[in-house]
């Protein structure tokens, strides 16, 4: 079937329902039986309204969905799809600009996060496509970053905003992604050039592995809506994100500075476990889960909406595309 984008003279209205939890809303646009081609640009105006108001939208019931058509749909918004650079999770490219959403072990939760909020360059738009419906669980939860921002204790929010965050990463060593995988190169000069361009401090350790430090935002202001959002991954990178037994075992074999990943205030001072526990509680209060159906497409404004992944068993294949690079 052709994947040509069809122009539409007017906005197409779709039947809608809304998933809601706490302050998070996710509109569901159901394809009408008489107009179910996802490649019709007539959907774009309605999608844009949902993205600005709600931060995301789920498109359901479109005919003849495939990874190829998902790829064409993501491209139809006019921006080149981004490669996955300076990543923090294992992924494989399944199509030009389309990646596995993550290859983390199926039994593990991936907490809520904005894509690449641990650095100063991130995609503004992110799309997810359900190619194989999960067997059991395996949701991709969402939470509104504006609501999370408002839910954070004001004193903590101000402390994070003013002091910023320093992410420390140690690559390889059998404990995390290698620097070659993260920077998509075998050439140390290429990795160093990337770090230099993005204001990332780096050092090569005696064992040949790489350590980086980068000071980043904790909160951000959306460039189009002007709204403040909680925008960081401190609650993922901090050592308190590890299960206690894993944390103790790691610290038995490496010094704190050699942990695969950790985060501090921008001046290098520690962040208390309790501070990040309170952040996690706000995410949990507004985390919206929904069950994937085969062929679903979810489109998110990456600054307005977080995503995560629930553990699962059985088959599951969710792929992702990203676009519109933005810098702090």
Digit-coded pLDDT (tens) for 166-201: 999 999 888 888 999 889 899 999 999 999 999 999
Average pLDDT over residues 127-139: 95
Dist CA 224 CA 12 (whole Å): 24
| Domains in the chain, CATH or no CATH each | 15-110+121-146+289-327 (3.60.130.10), 152-283 (3.60.130.10)
pTM of the complete model: 0.91
pLDDT digits (tens, 9 = 90+) for 196-243: 999 999 999 998 999 999 999 999 999 999 999 999 999 999 999 999
Residue corresponding to tokens 């205030």: 265
Contact 26, 54 (CB under 8 A): yes
Nearest of 298, 288, 311, 318 to residue 133 by alpha carbon? 318
Is residue 91 very low, low, confident or very high in pLDDT (cuts 50, 70, 90)? low
Compute CA distances 231 → 118, 146, 148, 212, whole Å. 8, 9, 9, 20
Q: 41-51 pLDDT, tens per residue? A: 788 988 999 99
Nearest to 296, CA basis, from 131, 135, 125, 134: 131
List the structure tokens of 89.
């999770």
More confidently predicted of 64 and 24: 24
């Amino acid at each position: 079937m052709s994947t040509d984008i069809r122009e539409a003279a007017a906005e197409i209205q779709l039947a809608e329902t809304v998933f809601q939890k706490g302050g998070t809303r996710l509109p569901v646009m159901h394809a009408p039986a008489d107009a179910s081609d996802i490649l019709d640009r007539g959907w774009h105006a309605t999608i844009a309204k949902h993205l600005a108001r709600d931060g995301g939208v789920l498109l359901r019931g479109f005919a003849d969905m495939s990874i190829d058509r998902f790829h064409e749909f993501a491209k139809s918004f006019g921006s080149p799809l981004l490669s996955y650079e300076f990543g923090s999770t294992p992924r494989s490219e399944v199509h030009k600009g389309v990646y596995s959403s993550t290859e983390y072990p199926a039994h593990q939760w991936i907490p809520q996060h904005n894509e690449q909020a641990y650095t100063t360059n991130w995609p503004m738009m992110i799309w997810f496509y359900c190619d194989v419906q999960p067997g059991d669980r395996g949701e991709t939860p969402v939470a509104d970053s504006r609501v999370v921002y408002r839910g954070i204790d004001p004193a903590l929010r101000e402390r994070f905003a003013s002091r910023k965050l320093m992410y420390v990463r140690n690559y390889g060593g059998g404990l995390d992604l290698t620097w070659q995988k993260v920077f998509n190169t075998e050439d140390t000069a290429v990795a160093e050039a990337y770090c230099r361009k993005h204001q990332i401090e780096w050092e090569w350790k005696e064992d040949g592995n790489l350590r980086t430090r980068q000071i980043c935002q904790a909160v951000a202001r959306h460039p189009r809506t002007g709204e403040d959002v909680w925008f960081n991954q401190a609650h993922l990178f901090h050592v308190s994100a590890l299960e206690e037994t894993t944390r103790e075992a790691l610290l038995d074999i490496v010094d704190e500075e050699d942990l695969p990943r950790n985060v501090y205030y921008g001046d290098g001072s520690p962040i208390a476990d309790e501070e990040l526990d309170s952040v996690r509680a706000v995410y949990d209060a507004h985390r919206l889960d929904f069950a994937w159906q085969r062929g679903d497409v979810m489109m998110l404004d990456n600054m307005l909406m977080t995503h995560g992944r629930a553990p699962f068993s059985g088959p599951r294949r969710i792929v992702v595309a990203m676009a519109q690079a933005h810098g702090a």
